[in-house]
Amino acid sequence: MIWVTDAKALPGFCLWVRFSDNTEGEVDLKNFVANDPRPIVAALRDPAAFAAIRVEMDTVVWANGFDLAPEFLRAKARTHASA
């Protein structure tokens, strides 16, 4: 099982994420945030709200309580092995 060990919000509704398998990469969530109709996701269209992330348990969690499965983030990440 893969989990998130570190993350940072990047401009343009992207995240930098490091995973437990020692890979890291960028996840572009622009289309996801722009097109998901759920209010909890729509709230993340505000760049400040999108940037308010933390790593909790095994994944990225936003201040409003929204999270994405680490497997989803890993599948969407353009990754490379970290040094």
Which pLDDT does position 82 carry in this prediction? 59
79, pLDDT greater than 90: no
For residue 53, the cross-strand partners are 62
Structure tokens at 4: 């998130």
Domain boundaries, the chain: 4-81
Q: How far apart are CA 62 and CA 30, in angstroms?
A: 15
pLDDT for 30-63, tens place per residue? 999 999 999 999 999 999 999 999 999 999 999 9
71, pLDDT greater than 70: yes
Architecture of the domain defined by 4-81: 2-Layer Sandwich (3.30)
Which pLDDT does position 55 carry in this prediction? 98
